[in-house]
């Protein structure tokens, strides 16, 4: 089958447009999620611990998996003490912590979510300014 140069150009343009649309659809949900404000969620399998707080309420909204709310409160207090002397700790008491930060329009951090795991035990909590 013989094709002219015009047909190759149209095919290339179609491919470029389809690629751009697919890329936009794939990236759009993640861009929206990145700008969502923090909200207190309790994942399935976790227990809500509304009374667990530390650092005069800066760290709050805790939830736990395979441990107690009392243990979470103790961990959060130790975490707050460690964070007072420097950056938010990524490792404490055998827990490895992942931290998600939210920033305002000026780029300042105004909230954080801490997900700390030690084996099958998990403690999640938020820091709010």
pLDDT at 129 over 70: yes
Instruction: Please report the pLDDT score of residue 85 as a whole number.
Output: 87
The percentage of residues in the chain with a pLDDT greater than 70, rounded to a whole number, is: 73
φ and ψ at residue 34, rounded to 5 degrees: -65, -25
Instruction: Please report the pLDDT score of residue 16 as a whole number.
Output: 44
Strands (DSSP E) found in the chain = 47-49, 59-65, 91-92, 95-103, 109-118, 121-128
> Domains of the chain: which residue ranges?
1-36, 47-128
Distances in whole angstroms, Cα of residue 129 to Cα of each of 56, 60, 68, 103: 11, 11, 26, 11
Instruction: Please report the pLDDT score of residue 37 as a whole number.
Output: 86
| Per-residue pLDDT tens digits for 76-124 | 999 999 999 889 999 999 999 999 999 999 999 999 999 999 999 999 9
């Amino acid at each position: 089958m013989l094709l002219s140069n015009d047909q190759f150009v149209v095919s290339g343009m179609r491919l470029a447009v389809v690629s751009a649309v697919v890329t936009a659809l794939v990236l759009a949900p993640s861009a929206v999620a990145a700008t969502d404000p923090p909200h207190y969620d309790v994942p399935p399998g976790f227990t809500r611990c509304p009374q667990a707080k530390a650092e005069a309420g800066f760290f709050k909204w805790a939830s736990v998996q395979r441990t107690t709310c009392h243990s979470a409160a103790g961990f959060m207090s130790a975490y707050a003490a460690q964070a007072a002397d420097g950056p938010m700790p990524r490792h404490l008491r055998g827990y490895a912590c992942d931290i998600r930060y939210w920033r305002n329009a000026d780029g300042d951090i105004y909230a954080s979510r801490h997900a700390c795991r030690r084996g099958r035990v998990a403690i999640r909590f938020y820091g709010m300014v």
